[in-house]
Structure 1
Amino acid sequence: MPINRAASTSVDVPRGLAGVVVTDTELGDVRGLEGFYHYRQYSAVDLATTRRFEDVWHLLVHGELPDEVRRAAFTASTARLRRLPDDVRAALPAIAAATGPSGPLAGLRTALSLLGASLGFRPVYDIDAERRRDDSLAAAAAVPTLLTALYRIGRGLEPVEPREDLGYAANYLYMLTGSEPDAARARAVEQYLISTIDHGFNASTFTARVIASTGADMAACLVGAVGALSGPLHGGAPSRALDTLDAIGTPDRIDAWIRARVLAGDRIMGFGHPVYRTEDPRSRMLRGMAQGFGGPLVDFAVEVERQVVAILAELKPGRELHTNVEFYAGVVMELCGLPREMFTPTFAAARVVGWSANILEQAQDSKIIRPAARYAGPPAPQPVPAAA
């Protein structure tokens, strides 16, 4: 018997849920037409240029920027959470060997599951707000340690134990390289991390909230978010944007190379965004940071941006296509000495804080996220054919 769609509660929405509001949030928003985004009531770019990473982490978790005393206490408490449980540390070589070329981000999924089990994470549905917050801080603090350890083990190097006297970004670089970073590069990476902590209901954040709506534990929610981030259309673009610069090679090849790709219908990595219809404010900030370092790579990237924007405006009139965060993020991370295979993991080291805050917020709502799909297959029901 056919379904009576008139009696259905389904509502048709745009593909990809574009523009569909699914809930209320106090964590922030992206205003694409203005080229502006914010964390709670503060401009995210202003926070990145004036505050420390731990300040913004505190803002998202506790709802306010800390004063000096609270900053010191929060920084110290989260720094103590960076060390991994012995059983998790012991399993990392096997995880790194199993994930191999897939890299630290693939290993992070398994490591996070193990971390959650080791720390006794329970379903967010079954625990109170304080325990949820504790779990979120423990998981987020451990992610940089997991990522850098997996990277180093995969290259035959010993993991570097975290230092509690270094800030989040400086400690991340220290664990990655084994050397304490200079202040300028540590601050540049910190500003990048702050600028990418959260960004509306992007695919990985929405994934985390969908899982949280089932009442699952913090690790399960974060594993799903990491899986979404790993996709090249989401978090995997910074290294690919640099690969584009490598493929172009020299300024005299920009025009022909870009035109050929656009006319072939290929996507130019680092350009265009599903929300922004003007310049991505993160890209603007990172461009300025890159130009502060200077050098041939920066000059070439700026020239590529200029020509790509002009060519896209010519060949795709009426569409506002500008650089997004991935384009200059790749340049900045390259200048700061991060290997390209760690670009997306570094993104995850920032975004885990935003995911955690969204999980905490979603856990306050007992309504499971359960959308519908329009069936487009053969009419049903039909007789089941007899077995041969």
Structure 2
Amino acid sequence: MEQLIAPEGLANVVVADTEIGDVRGDEGFYHYREHSAVDLARTRSFEDVWYLFVHGELPGPADLDDFRAATTALRDIPDELTGLLRTAALLGDDRDTLAGLRTVLSAAGPAAHAGPLWDADPDTIRHDTMRVAALTPTVLAALHRIRVGEEPIAPDPALSVAANWLYQVTGRRPAPEHVRAVEQYLIATVDHGFNASTFTARVIASTGADVYAAVCGALGAFSGPLHGGAPDRALDSLDEIARHGDATAWAREQVAARRRIMGFGHAVYRTVDPRSELLRDIAVDLGGPTVDAAVDVERRVVEVLREAHPDQPRYANVEFYAGVVMDACGIPRSMFTPTFAVSRVVGWCANIAEQARSRKIIRPRARYIGPAPTPSAGS
């Protein structure tokens, strides 16, 4: 049988059909179902968009009230996981919060008696995806609080997802402008095509494994610095530039050394990342010296990259301003990537549920390029 050789990284290879959304890299546009993702971030609540990912349509007022009540009831950490939670929180350093989440969610699946997707009906799958998405921010915030020597804060049923996240991480009742800024960030990052973590979730779901297993696999892919692990690194670059004193010279040094400038360039977009534009507007509204510095650095780095790669312009991506916005809202750097995970888990769960409707396992082939095998004796 003839082997079809895919490009490295499966670039531009279509591997599935989806109704969830799409990214149009040449146009600088992405959408959730029929709705512009950026428009949703500017005009809707996170709960509206979460409902869209679960039910395929935006909610009416009564639907939204019911959905908020249902998801609020799923936020609490089961008592049988509290000991494991404290153990997981003390493993590694402050950048290992996602690893702690994987540990806890691995146990949360059996604790919730989550069965394989292969055997589950749509209502059960919907409940399991809502449960893991509702539980994720509570676990992440608790892991952080324990790690810094504070007691976890129980979710407040009167608060939205974004407000609860800020409250449970910082221990302070958040300002409305910070809640809205974080909420817009969460909406803008729920889903973004068949990125590495989403594809990983779908591969695991295609085996018929349970929802928790698929989310844990996605978290493993997401933890890499080339994927979800970049918002804090982009802000680290801003600090490095401040110490250097000259953003243009710093950027030219990075280009000359062939070092990647974190927060710039994207695997899909060939024009401006629309998420970056949204987050820049949010950051400017929040204001402050870090925001002013970021706007100036963005302009200078883009100019240097245009000089170095005139045929392949590279612009600020979502990670560049994500860190600036989260920093302005009081989220510590160690929790930048976990904040990203709070939203992206909703997208993973929608993809898991969609993949579960297929009964075909994802099973590509590899092309062997190693030494020729030695014939077996007697052949």
Distance in 2 (CA, whole Å) between partners of 1:299 and 1:178 is 28
Aligned AA for 1:170? Answer: A
Q: Secondary structure at the match of 2:209?
A: coil
Aligned AA for 1:319? Answer: Q
Q: Secondary structure at the match of 2:90?
A: helix
Deviating beyond 4 angstroms after TM superposition, the runs of 4 or more aligned structure 1 residues are none
Aligned AA for 1:153? Answer: I
* Structure 1 residue 103, shift from structure 2 partner: 2.5
Is 1:47 the equivalent of 2:40? yes
Match 2:337 to one of 344, 353, 376:
344
Is 1:138 the equivalent of 2:131? yes
User: Residue deviations 1:161-218, cap 9 Å, x none?
Assistant: 0011100100111111122111100010000000000000000000000000000000
After superposition, residues 53-132 of structure 1 pair within 5 angstroms as 53-132=46-125
Judge conservation of contact 1:103–1:151 (CA < 8 Å) in 2.
no
Is 1:31 the equivalent of 2:28? no
Match 1:234 to one of 223, 227, 234:
227
Distance in 1 (CA, whole Å) between partners of 2:16 and 2:224 is 25
TM-score norm. by structure 2 comes to 0.98
Percentage identity across aligned positions? 58
Q: Secondary structure at the match of 1:37?
A: strand
Judge conservation of contact 1:147–1:345 (CA < 8 Å) in 2.
yes
Distance in 2 (CA, whole Å) between partners of 1:333 and 1:100 is 20
After superposition, residues 239-250 of structure 1 pair within 5 angstroms as 239-249=232-242
Distance in 2 (CA, whole Å) between partners of 1:306 and 1:158 is 42
**Matched length:** 377
Is 1:354 the equivalent of 2:347? yes
Gapped runs of 5+ residues in structure 1? Answer: 1-6
Judge conservation of contact 1:251–1:300 (CA < 8 Å) in 2.
no
Is 1:193 the equivalent of 2:193? no
Q: Which stretch of structure 1 is more off in the superposition, 291-300 or 233-242? A: 291-300
* Structure 1 residue 102, shift from structure 2 partner: 4.2
Q: Secondary structure at the match of 1:38?
A: strand
Aligned AA for 1:310? Answer: E
After superposition, residues 297-312 of structure 1 pair within 5 angstroms as 297-312=290-305
Distance in 1 (CA, whole Å) between partners of 2:102 and 2:247 is 38
Judge conservation of contact 2:94–2:334 (CA < 8 Å) in 1.
no
Q: Secondary structure at the match of 2:75?
A: coil
Distance in 2 (CA, whole Å) between partners of 1:92 and 1:209 is 27
After superposition, residues 251-330 of structure 1 pair within 5 angstroms as 252-330=245-323
Q: Which stretch of structure 1 is more off in the superposition, 87-96 or 349-358? A: 87-96
Q: Secondary structure at the match of 1:249?
A: helix
Judge conservation of contact 1:238–1:344 (CA < 8 Å) in 2.
yes
TM-score norm. by structure 1 comes to 0.95
